[in-house]
Copies of this chain bind each other. A is one copy, B any other.
């Protein structure tokens, strides 16, 4: 039994198609979801095969749904700092930063990757919410001189241990020297790109930001043509691997009701910086009072889950709910059911035992360290 279902959906014009859509169709995509009003490939058949391709070789993923919010103009730096509690004073051109976008109440509105293209030119590479509207709304009475828009930019992810060699084969040996969370602007045979060493896989990997959607199929086919013989497979972001890595999924694991401290990302919040940002006073107050819940890892007993959880699963000790599992999956590498959970602070100690009300019935769950698998801290967490 599983909480998931299969269904049919038409590809209507109400949801946008990525520049790689036709390619993903041609390469056998069997299931899509919707993210930022756009189709995202979610299946090329067996999710465990996709996982092994990712951790042993390399996969190419259409993540054009990571839409960019571009902020340019004389006040761009000041405006971007206004949007996030992370201190960006030392962020250099060519650098990426994992940031939270927070509301006035300190709630998380998104957790994008920030790319600084110039002192007056930034991108926010988004998770699933319309930060374009948020940023444009904030601008209205801000008095700041910025231009905010969604540019024609569509990322691919090329992730896995073989990704470096493949990237070098396609783009040149200079990719070897690209450091973690750095990027370059690059013209590839007339195709305008930004290439970064980032990703949502907890593996060595790169993102390729296509800056002209008309080249989508050309770029995809070229990567597969050169990469295929080197071990590159078509794929999709791996729920198994990202949960192993303890990476957050916006909406699934957190939303506007959560703050960065609950998620364990205190170091992305600078409470003392001189610059003002939205949510500063609220976050100072939350920090002073302490949070009531924290995000933890859990192992869950029972037979291997057939698929990831379709909804949050309550966590109980006796009759008392102490939290909920937000993400859960069977890891074929760890040979365990693993999950991420939000629990009351009194119950966050490693070894805490509870009962999860799962789609497979009640199952024992234990609080454990996360990430579950982290061979190389330097490159496997979104920490730059």
Residues of A whose CB lies within 8 Å of any CB of B are 3-17, 25, 29-35, 37, 42-43, 103-104, 109, 128-131, 133-143, 249, 251-252, 278, 307-312, 326-327
A34, B8: Cβ atoms closer than 8 Å:
no
How far is it, in angstroms, between the C-alpha of A13 and the C-alpha of B124 when the chains are bound? 24
Complex contact B13–A31 (CB within 8 A): no
Task: Check if B128 sits within 8 Å of A14, measured CB to CB.
Answer: yes
Q: A134-B130, A140-B141 are in contact. Are A251 and B14 (CB under 8 A)?
A: yes
Residues of B within 8 A of A32 (CB): 7, 9
Say whether B7 contacts A11, CB under 8 Å. Answer: yes
Q: How far is the CA of A13 from the CA of B143 in the complex (A)?
A: 39
Known: A129-B133, A140-B278. A25 touches B5 (CB 8 A): yes
Complex copy number for this chain: 2
On chain B, the residues within 8 Å of A131 by CB distance are: 133
CB distance from A380 to the nearest CB of B (A): 22
Decide: B310 and A13 in contact? CB cutoff 8 A.
Answer: yes
In the bound complex, CA of A309 to CA of B139 (Å): 36
Cα distance A37–B128 in the bound complex, in angstroms: 8
Cross-interface CB contact of A308 among B12, B42, B249, B252, cutoff 8 Å: B12
| Closest 5 pairs between A and B when the two form their complex, measured CB to CB | A137-B137, A34-B34, A130-B130, A141-B141, A133-B134
- Which residue of B has the minimal Cβ distance to A35? B14
Q: Which residue from chain B places its CB closest to the CB of A239 in the assembled complex? A: B12
State how many angstroms separate the Cβ of A266 from the closest Cβ of chain B: 24
Q: Once the chains are docked, how many angstroms separate the CA of A32 from the CA of B111?
A: 27
Partner of A9, one of B7, B252, B278, B308: B7
Complex Cα–Cα for A32 and B252 (A):
19
Decide yes or no: A13 and B138 within 8 Å by CB, A8-B8, A130-B130, A133-B130 being known contacts: no
